[in-house]
């Protein structure tokens, strides 16, 4: 039997040739090296470097001079194919392959020549769409005007394919979901550097919606779904209506998924074409219901109100009628609240009724508040156009650090409208949102001080280029009353904090009263923010905020806050982490926020 030492030497002797062979192979592979040089206009050079096979094989252990020569011979044809996608159909290519020291250099000088430009465009429409009256949707003339590859434009393959897809999509989304591209041609004349384009769209029959077929509804009455349906049988097919129906269903919280599919291919829809050439598309709705009861716990931190703990409970089907009940207990360092809400399903007229109770205790900037409120509301419309009538009773105890105490109450009637015109409600990148509110109360009915309150907030998103965006924000309010005394804090204004004037603590801007800051009758806030997106979902921001709240317009002097921060387009909304300096407070503050309040 071998001793351990002898066994080790024997085993090492067996492995030595393998190590030697590995090192020899690595050394041989390391001896062969090459690089590729491309001389062409910047955009074309970048395209070639990213896609040429010869430039992709640097790290291959099988690469040798013979392989390089094969790739070198194939490269000019690859260059011609790639250049053609950018509109260059007659490039002049000067290749060379030479050894410089220990490195082989494959060099390609590319003169792309004149770009091929569109010389003629023919957009043809066949089927019932050709007989539509002028300005009916889809408007054929508008489709022709919107066609992006006009005469004189550079012809690129990717632009050509995108233009065809967008043209077909514009026909598919309304009235003609069975439309197809029946013919398309791009005839290129390399000698003249011209391309003649032709696209023919066959609209197929006009579709109208049929009846609603619901699958998966078990817990809720059919009226819950039917009253959410914006689609009436016999109306013209529209993808927008289908998307609106799906959005309404998911917003209720009743359903985990809601799939709305029109039956437009095969089956009865194709067969049921009347003498006028119209087809019927029944709407099939497939639902998966959410759990109706849910109890949740959470902890977190806010740079506005500090550490928090939270308990929430919901029941989406009180009395088996779709009545939604939610309650939320939130305990934060600066304020504590208990909110309870009861909301009815949307009725046939499109109205959603709800009632709510709240109990709030806060200690912010030397003002301690104990507030109780009860209110009712009627909401109509959708997320793009939301309108709310409300009635709200609030009673409140105010205590300031100097010992001043005040009790006040108000019964206010209000109306509000919110318009959202953004490309995405969760993570908007362009468009705007506007909210306007008007409310008032009279001493004749459970109110200590007559007042009329107006408030408006606007935010706009302006992208420019792929990496740059500008966000502008404006907010203003006024309370017309003889005095702020007797008006609950809900109806007056303070500002400062994460999504108002950064660089100042939460609600620290308002009317000084002793050592405390209380709400004033006037508010003005403005903000400008520039974001550079160094990755699609990650950006760096620089911003300036200005604003204040006061008891008279003459005292409304805006204070400045400015700084920089990071941005992340997270799956649950835009996340912001900012460091801001308050010019008036002479402090640096950290601000963290998620989403936009609208």
3-state DSSP of 133-173: CCCCCCCHHHHHHHCCCCCCCECCHHHHHHHHHHHHHHHHC
Domain 206-289 CATH superfamily: membrane protein fhac (3.10.20.310)
**pLDDT of res. 86:** 87
- Which pLDDT score, from 0 to 100, does residue 61 have? 80
Instruction: Give residue 184's region: left, alpha or beta (phi > 0; psi -120 to 50).
Output: beta
CB 207 within 8 A of CB 281: yes
* pLDDT, position 274: 56
Give CA–CA dist 151/119, Å, rounded: 5
CB 535 within 8 A of CB 522: no
Give the phi and the psi of residue 140 in degrees, each rounded to 5. -60, -40
Residue 48, pLDDT > 70, answer yes
Quickly name the fold that domain 24-111 has.
Ubiquitin-like (UB roll) (3.10.20)
Q: How confident is the model at residue 187 (pLDDT cuts 50, 70, 90)?
A: very high
Residues 6+ apart with CB under 8 A from 280: 207, 208, 209, 210, 268, 269, 272
CB hemisphere CA count around 353 (13 angstroms): 6
Can you tell me the mean pLDDT for 423-449? 95
Long-range contacts of 557-561 (CB under 8 A, 24+ apart): 558/524, 558/525, 558/526, 559/501, 559/504, 559/509, 559/583, 559/584, 559/585, 560/503, 560/584, 561/501, 561/502, 561/503, 561/504
CATH code matching the domain that covers 117-202, chosen among 3.90.79.10, 3.40.640.10, 3.20.20.390, 3.10.20.310: 3.10.20.310
Phi/psi for 78 (5° steps) reads: -60, -40
Highest CATH level, class, for 412-594: mainly beta
Name the percent of the chain in helix, strand, coil, to the closest 5.
20, 50, 30
Of the two residues 23 and 452, the one the predictor is more confident about is 452
With beta carbons less than 8 A apart as the criterion, state whether 548 and 587 touch. no
Provide the H-helix boundaries in 264-383: 267-271
When pLDDT is cut at 50, 70 and 90, the band that residue 123 belongs to is very high
pLDDT of 277 higher than 80: no
Strand ranges inside 180-249, DSSP E = 180-189, 194-202, 206-215
Other C-beta atoms closer than 10 Å to the C-beta of 535 total 9
What's the pLDDT band for 137 if we cut at 50, 70, 90?
Answer: confident
pLDDT above 60 (res 176): yes
Under 8 Å between Cβ of 285 and 260: yes
pLDDT tier at 25 (50, 70, 90 boundaries)?
A: very low
Q: How far apart are CA 427 and CA 538, in angstroms?
A: 13
Average pLDDT value over all residues in the chain? 89
Mean pLDDT value of segment 23-27: 41
* Contact between residue 484 and residue 490 where contact means Cβ atoms under 8 Å apart: no
CA 31-33-39 angle, to 5 degrees, is 165
Compute, in degrees rounded to 10, the torsion defined by CA atoms 62, 68, 70, 73: 160
| The pair of three-digit structure tokens given for residue 228, joined into one six-digit string | 């959410």
The answer for 333, left when phi > 0, alpha when psi is -120 to 50, beta otherwise, is alpha
Report which DSSP code applies to 497. Answer: S
* Structure-token pair, residue 251: 């917003």
| Closest residue by Cα to residue 179 from 127, 120, 237, 104 | 127
pTM: 0.76
Half-sphere exposure of 506 (CA within 13 A, CB side): 16
Q: How far apart are CA 329 and CA 313, in angstroms?
A: 9
* Rounded percentage of the chain residues whose pLDDT exceeds 90: 72
Residue 43 in this model has a pLDDT that exceeds 90: no
Please say if the pLDDT value at position 317 is more than 50: yes
Scanning the structure block, which residue is given the tokens 């109450």?
409
Question: 204-208, 245-249, 485-489, 593-597: lowest mean pLDDT where?
Answer: 593-597
Strands 511-513 and 516-518: antiparallel
Residue 346, pLDDT > 80, answer yes
- Distance between first and last Cα of the chain: 83
The answer to whether residues 476 and 524 touch, using CB atoms and an 8 Å cutoff, is yes
Averaged pLDDT for residues 126-134 = 89
- Angular region, 322: left φ>0, alpha ψ -120 to 50, beta rest: left
The per-residue pLDDT for 150 is: 93
């Amino acid at each position: 039997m071998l001793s351990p030492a002898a066994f080790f030497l024997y085993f090492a002797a067996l492995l030595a040739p393998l190590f030697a062979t590995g090192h020899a192979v690595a050394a041989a592979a390391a001896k062969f090296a090459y690089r590729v040089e491309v001389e062409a206009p910047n955009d074309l050079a970048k395209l070639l470097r990213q896609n040429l096979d010869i430039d992709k094989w640097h790290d291959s252990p099988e690469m040798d001079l013979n392989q390089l020569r094969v790739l070198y011979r194939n490269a000019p044809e690859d260059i011609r194919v790639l250049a053609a996608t950018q509109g260059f159909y007659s490039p002049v290519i000067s290749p060379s392959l030479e050894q410089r020291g220990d490195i082989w250099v494959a060099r390609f000088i590319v003169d792309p020549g004149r770009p091929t430009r569109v010389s003629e465009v023919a957009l043809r429409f066949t089927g019932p769409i050709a007989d539509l009256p002028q300005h009916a949707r889809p408007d054929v003339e508008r489709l022709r005007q919107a066609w992006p590859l006009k005469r004189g434009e550079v012809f690129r393959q990717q632009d050509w394919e995108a233009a065809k897809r967008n043209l077909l999509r514009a026909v598919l989304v309304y009235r003609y979901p069975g439309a197809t591209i029946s013919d398309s041609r791009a005839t290129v004349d390399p000698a003249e550097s011209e391309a003649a384009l032709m696209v023919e769209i066959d609209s197929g029959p006009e579709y109208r919606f049929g009846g609603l077929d619901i699958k998966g509804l078990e817990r809720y009455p059919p009226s819950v779904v039917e009253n959410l349906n914006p689609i009436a049988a016999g109306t013209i097919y529209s993808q927008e209506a289908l998307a609106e129906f799906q959005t309404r269903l998911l917003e209720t919280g009743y359903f985990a998924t809601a799939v709305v599919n029109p039956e437009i291919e095969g089956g009865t829809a194709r067969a049921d074409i009347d003498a006028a050439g119209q087809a019927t598309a029944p709407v099939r709705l497939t639902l998966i219901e959410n759990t109706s009861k849910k109890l949740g716990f959470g902890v977190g931190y806010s740079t506005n109100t500090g550490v928090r703990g939270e308990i929430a409970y919901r029941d989406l089907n009180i009395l088996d009628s779709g009545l939604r009940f939610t309650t939320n207990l939130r305990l934060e360092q600066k304020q504590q609240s208990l909110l309870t809400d009861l909301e009815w399903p949307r009725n046939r007229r499109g109205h959603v009724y709800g009632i709510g109770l709240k109990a709030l205790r806060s200690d912010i900037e030397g003002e301690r508040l104990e507030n109780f409120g009860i209110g009712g509301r009627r909401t109509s419309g959708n997320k793009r156009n939301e309108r709310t009538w409300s009635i709200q009773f609030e009673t409140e105890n105010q205590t300031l650090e100097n010992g001043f105490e005040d009790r006040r109450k108000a019964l206010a009637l209000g109306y509000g409208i919110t318009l959202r015109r953004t490309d995405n409600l969760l993570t908007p990148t362009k468009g705007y949102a506007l909210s306007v509110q008007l409310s008032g109360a009279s001493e004749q009915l459970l109110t200590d001080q007559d007042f009329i309150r107006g408030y408006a907030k606007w935010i706009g998103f302006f992208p420019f280029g792929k990496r740059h965006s500008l966000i502008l924000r404006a907010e203003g309010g006024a309370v017309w009353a003889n005095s702020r005394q007797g008006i609950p804090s809900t109806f007056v204004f303070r500002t400062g904090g994460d999504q108002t004037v950064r660089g100042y603590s939460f609600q620290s801007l308002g009317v000084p009263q002793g050592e405390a800051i209380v709400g004033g009758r006037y508010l003005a806030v403005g903000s400008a923010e520039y974001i550079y997106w160094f990755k699609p979902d990650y950006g760096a921001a620089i911003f300036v905020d200005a604003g204040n709240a006061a008891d008279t317009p003459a005292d409304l002097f805006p204070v400045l806050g400015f700084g920089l921060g990071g941005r992340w387009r997270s799956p649950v909304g835009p996340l912001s982490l900012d460091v801001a300096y308050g010019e008036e407070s002479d402090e640096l503050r950290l601000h963290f926020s998620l989403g936009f309040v609208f």
